[in-house]
Amino acid sequence: MKKALKRTPGEVTPEIAESATAEYSAAELARTRLRRKRRKRIRKAVIWVLVLGVLGFGGYLWVQKTRAEYRTVYDPYTAQVGSISNALSYTGALQLKDSRTYTAPAGAKVREIYVQRGDTVKEGDKLLRLSDGTTFTADFDGTVQSLEVAKGDEVAAGANLLKLVDFDHMRVNIRISAANIGEVQEGTDCRVTVSLAGVTVRSKIGEIDFSTYSGNNTVYYTAAVDVDLTGESGVYPGMQATVTVTKEEAADVVILRAEAIGTAPDNTAFVFKQQEDGTMAVSPVTLGVSNGSYVEIREGVAEGETIYAAAKQDESDAGWAAFMQSTFGSQQVNQPAGGWNNPGSRNSNGSGGSGGQGTRTRPGSGN
């Protein structure tokens, strides 16, 4: 038998130390695990706070944007009385129809000159005579553009003597697209305007060459328009001319800017009119001639009446506004500039001028 060891009071044996160390390690491990769990919970809480904060801020911005989108701004337009036309327009350069340079048929001497440079002559008038007996006369009414010789000059065969041109009767060639050729025929009435000279004359579409001409993937047909400029001044070859073919025309009618008119799903036209309580109501209108800038109003709007049109929105804004209106069944609008009680205090967009091509408004008719 082993002999039992005696222990003095307070003595720590290896067994006790080992047991105490094990207990301490277990407690420390438990505390470490607890601290880790706390840190994890704190991190999760911080993350959730950040996420909720971002979502809350995003929601705030979304609500503000929604409110901004849902508020519709209306622009005022005033109906006027004027004339409007719907026309096709073409451009081309003026060209001489009749022009001739007279030359000597053989070597000779200039015996007589009957005209001077700049003279206007009639068909058949004498121009000059050579020693060989040749007398030159005007082939058409025109103007002596140049005189190359003087009386007594010796000239060789083929020498230029003078040049006669007709500035009163010129021509402009235009190109008509295949899409419009059905609306323009030979003999169709047209107007020819030479803006540089401030001249506009009436004419007709002449011969159409149906030999196709292609440019930019478009097929064109060439038409000649003869222009009678008798009595006009300051018009010369090479100047740009605009040929206008009127399709529809209306004079002294109520007209309105095109952007002020809306189109319903059933393709009927309408405008917004302001009510006494400041709200906007849809009012149907009957349209007539349109030139792209202005539209004739046959029924639904009177001269001087102010109507409103919703300001343009981008596609996403317009779609969301429509969703909100269909969801909540109400309409929010911004007060037009000048106040609801004074809707005519602001000029309409461009309606105070002459408008688009083919539009004339009555002087003093307002905006």
| pLDDT digit string, tens, across residues 227-241 | 999 999 999 999 999
What pLDDT does 43 receive? 80
For 323-358, b/e burial (b = at least 16 CB within 10 A) is ebeeeeeeeebeebeeeeeebeebebeebeeebbbb
What pLDDT does 150 receive? 97
Confidence of residue 47 (pLDDT cuts 50, 70, 90): confident
Pairwise pLDDT comparison (176 vs 61), residue with the higher score: 176
Segment 16-32 mean pLDDT:
65
Q: Is 125 exposed, middle or buried (0-12, 13-18, 19+ CB in 10 A)?
A: middle
What pLDDT does 21 receive? 61
Least confident of 77-81, 85-89, 216-220: 216-220
Q: Percentage of the chain surpassing pLDDT 90? A: 52
Segment 259-267 mean pLDDT:
92
Q: Please, which residues have CB within 8 angstroms of residue 270's CB and are 6 or more apart in sequence? A: 261, 262, 263, 264, 282, 283, 284, 285
pTM: 0.55
Pairwise pLDDT comparison (18 vs 112), residue with the higher score: 112
Sort strands 240-257 and 189-194 into parallel, antiparallel or unpaired.
Answer: antiparallel
* 79 contacts 304 by C-beta, under 8 angstroms: yes
Give the distance from CA 92 to its chain's centroid: 22
What pLDDT does 105 receive? 97
Confidence of residue 363 (pLDDT cuts 50, 70, 90): very low
The sheet that has 126-130: what strands, in order across it? Answer: 135-137, 126-130, 108-113, 154-155
Pairwise pLDDT comparison (8 vs 353), residue with the higher score: 8
Separation of alpha carbons 142 and 140, rounded Å: 6
What pLDDT does 231 receive? 93
Least confident of 79-83, 244-248, 274-278, 330-334: 330-334
